[in-house]
Amino acid sequence: MEQLELIPDTRSLFEKLCNMAYLRQGFRAVKRNRGAPGLDRVSTSEFEERLEEELAHLKMDLEGWSYEPKPVRRVEIPKPGGSGVRLLGVPTVIPYCTSYSDLSECRR
């Protein structure tokens, strides 16, 4: 019977996540979803103009364990029927580049 590894190799996963190809893939997913600008008011098109520089800086911060996400922009969304509002937090583009990376691919 084949034994499954219960604890994944997190170091390998982290190294793959810091790979520029995965960060680019994450940005493409953000752009595809047409995310709104966060607190820094940087749109995906503005971010894309300096994509390589931004992702290189993100990679350096991740690898140096110095990355800290920026605060989110708070947006009020009206609830149906006018029964109040729902609060939505809109992050900046950078955190999405890591979270939208295809982690299922990273784990292989």
pLDDT, mean of each 10-residue run, the chain (108 residues): 57 78 88 84 92 93 88 88 87 77 53
Q: What one-character-per-residue DSSP string does 40-100 give?
A: T---HHHHHHTHHHHHHHHHHHHHTT---PPPPEEEEEEPGGGS-EEEEEE--HHHHHHHT
pTM for this model (two decimals): 0.69
Domain ranges (residues) in the chain: 10-102
Looking at residue 105, its pLDDT comes to 53
Residue 22: the pLDDT is: 87
